[in-house]
Structure 1
Amino acid sequence: MKTLTAQMASDGGPWRLYVVVYGESEWPTVRFESGPVPTGADRREALAALGFEVAPGAKWAWIEDSQKPFDDSTPVVLIAAVDVRELEGAGA
């Protein structure tokens, strides 16, 4: 089964979780409007709503970046990524 990458990002505002689908102009996305970093259960439910699940053995990996590349004086952007696959029977 083909795997894709799901990412979750925030620059201090709402969190967005999306699945990277190359060749598509719009990617499946869920927005978490408020609150702290979405929990593992929150992310699992959001992925399921989009028709995906975390691939077996995959773990979320976190990195940070700057809002302006190579300028560490700008606010931090947190990005998480994990390998996902389509849920069986889902047509994403």
Structure 2
Amino acid sequence: MSEHTAQLSSRDGRWSLYVVLMGVPVSQWPEHDFGTGNVPTPAERSGALTELGFVFTDGAEWAWEEYPERPDDDSSPVRLLASVQVRSGDGGLS
């Protein structure tokens, strides 16, 4: 059963959750848009992943990373990215 990385990111105040599928064009990655507002809760993220057909792998936990919008510029706005390992909920999607 294939594992994938699900990522939660924000751009222009909109939170988006997507599942990275290697070998598949980015435009075809499963995605859920939370809209603007607060960071989606773990329960909201889990629900969105379920709607997209994915579940957490055993022991998976969200990991947060910050990165500059413009690398090598310490005055650049900071972006947040959360990642977690998932697998297909039906066991068949790779």
TM-score relative to the length of structure 2: 0.89
Q: Distance in 1 between matches of 2:42 and 2:23?
A: 28
Q: Distance in 2 between matches of 1:48 and 1:54?
A: 9
Q: Check if 1:4 corresponds to 2:4.
A: yes
The one-letter code matched in structure 1 to 2:75 is: S
- Secondary structure at 1:33's aligned position in 2? strand
Measured after TM superposition, the shift of residue 70 of structure 1 is 2.0
- Secondary structure at 1:23's aligned position in 2? coil
- Secondary structure at 2:72's aligned position in 1? coil
The one-letter code matched in structure 2 to 1:15 is: W
Measured after TM superposition, the shift of residue 21 of structure 1 is 0.3
- What RMSD over aligned residues (CA atoms) do the two structures have, in Å? 1.6
Q: Distance in 1 between matches of 2:92 and 2:2?
A: 13
Q: Distance in 2 between matches of 1:62 and 1:13?
A: 17
- Residue 65 of structure 1 is matched in structure 2 by 67
Deviation digits for residues 55-91 of structure 1 (CA, Å, limit 9, x no counterpart) = 1101000000011112121111100000000002665
Percent identical:
48
The one-letter code matched in structure 2 to 1:29 is: E
- Residue 79 of structure 1 is matched in structure 2 by 81
Identify unmatched segments of 5+ residues in structure 1. none
